[in-house]
Amino acid sequence: MVNDTSVPLSSPIMATYSRFPVTLVKGKGSYVWDDQGKQYLDFTSGIATCNLGHVPDAVKEKLEEQLQDLWHCTNLYHIPNQEKLAALLAANSCGDQVFFCNSGAEANEAAIKLARRYANKVKGSGSSEVVTFQQSFHGRTLATLTATGQEKIQQGFSPLMPGFSYLPFNDEEALEELTTRKPAAVLLELVQGEGGVIPANPEWVKKLAEICKDNGILLMVDEIQTGIGRTGTLFAYEQYGIEPDVISLAKGLGSGFPIGAIIAKEEAAKGFEPGSHGSTFGGNPLATAAGLATVTHILETNLLKQVNEVVTYLDSQLEMLKEKYEFIKNIRGKGLLKGLLVETNALDIVQKAIANNLLILTAGPNVVRILPPLTVTKEEINEFIEALEKTFQGIEKGE
């Protein structure tokens, strides 16, 4: 049957996003250009994805090389880039084995499946429940939106998946519940990104890790937004002195090429065996070429040292803004994942910034989220502060 196109549609794209009136067609480093040739300073990095800036040469070259050879190959055969990337991730984390997929939601989906299967098949007793935290964000598939501790993300999708419960974030007393519930796993963001750029309190995380260890609960950290150098270390968990059993990754791993992964400790990885999980595209030669080039570049150029220097500068500049503008109540986050808590409409600031050639984001109604690439320079930070100050003209407290 021929589709009936007589029904007028406002757009052939489903209305899952409300989009800003900008069409981006080109990017390089910290800058992007729209279809009118207007240049913007991009402090969104495609939401913590283009961590090496746009079209980074180190990744582009490796992708171009791989494009000549082999694009795709099923996981029924060995894939050299995949094996190299898995080895690199394992060597630079507390984990041992890696499963590759294509996105953040799929990575968390894999983590949840691993936790359940580990509980059911390896331990063979106890609960297969996964505990997450209020205000968390873990993705949009049915399991990961159920894991997400925000009703607005879940609305309209009932029935949700069974086997999830939520505890308040950064609440020490609430952790006691884990000792009685003894769930299969806890899934945690070390900095809640979408939930408002809220870092987990280090003492609380230590206590959580202890409880998990003492009670045979898998500790799974969602590093989809915080991973791959975003917070100043390759993984945010390194700053908390803990060793998670499972780490989920996506976003920055492929510099914009879609790829996701979980890294698991050997014991937790026993939850999967041939046939228990899989993905057609997961870890294909192109995606893992991008991942391998990205992680290799970060490690070989010692980029994180530069990140930490630039973060000190960014922090001082943001502190200066906080002193100057009454509506900025707090600055929070870690490394190059920053949130300005504002007593005004954050979306209004983001929209006005576009007119000043600056792209930034919100994280909820009162948080302006700032995600420059890890390659950002002090000069670009100066340009950002200038554009932000222009944007702040006319912004009133409580607007």
Residue 145 vs 328, nearer CB to ligand PLP: 145
Backbone angles phi, psi at 36, to 5 degrees: -100, 5
Among 93, 132, 146, 225, the residue binding ligand PLP under the rule CB under 6 A is 225
Q: Which of the 8 DSSP states describes residue 29?
A: B
- Of 155-163, 200-208, 222-230, 359-367: span binding ligand PLP (CB under 6 A): 222-230
Buried b (16+ CB within 10 A) or exposed e, 194-218: bbbbbbbeeebbeebbebbeeeebb
Instruction: In whole angstroms, give the CA distance from residue 207 to residue 191.
Output: 16
Residue 349 CB, nearest approach to ligand PLP (Å): 20
Instruction: In whole angstroms, give the CA distance from residue 154 to residue 309.
Output: 40
Residue 114 vs 387, nearer CB to ligand PLP: 114
Burial class of residue 159 (count of CB atoms within 10 Å of its CB; 0-12, 13-18, 19+): exposed
| Cis, bond preceding 365 (omega within 30 deg of 0) | no
Q: Which of the 8 DSSP states describes residue 73?
A: -
Residue 373 CB, nearest approach to ligand PLP (Å): 17
Extended strands (E) in 37-137: 39-42, 97-101, 130-133
Residue 328 vs 346, nearer CB to ligand PLP: 346
Size of site (CB under 6 A) for ligand PLP: 15
Residue 333 CB, nearest approach to ligand PLP (Å): 13
Q: Which of the 8 DSSP states describes residue 54?
A: B
- 399: tokens are 């607007």
| Residue 194 is a binding residue for ligand PLP (CB under 6 A) | yes
CA atoms within 13 A on the CB side of 240: 27
Instruction: In whole angstroms, give the CA distance from residue 373 to residue 360.
Output: 12
Residue 47 vs 160, nearer CB to ligand PLP: 47
Q: Per-residue x/- marks for ligand PLP, 326-365, CB under 6 A? A: ----------------------------------------
Among 30, 44, 82, 103, the residue binding ligand PLP under the rule CB under 6 A is 103
Q: Kindly calculate the radius of gyration of the chain based on its CA atoms and give it in whole angstroms.
A: 21
Residue 104 CB, nearest approach to ligand PLP (Å): 2
| Residue 222 is a binding residue for ligand PLP (CB under 6 A) | yes
Instruction: In whole angstroms, give the CA distance from residue 388 to residue 354.
Output: 10
Residue 231 vs 344, nearer CB to ligand PLP: 231
Residue 225 CB, nearest approach to ligand PLP (Å): 4
| Residue 119 is a binding residue for ligand PLP (CB under 6 A) | no
Residue 103 vs 366, nearer CB to ligand PLP: 103
- Of 59-67, 150-158, 220-228, 333-341: span binding ligand PLP (CB under 6 A): 220-228
Burial class of residue 49 (count of CB atoms within 10 Å of its CB; 0-12, 13-18, 19+): buried
- Of 136-144, 198-206, 283-291, 324-332: span binding ligand PLP (CB under 6 A): 136-144
Which residues would be at the binding site for ligand PLP (CB under 6 A)?
47, 103-105, 108, 137-139, 189, 193-194, 222, 224-225, 250
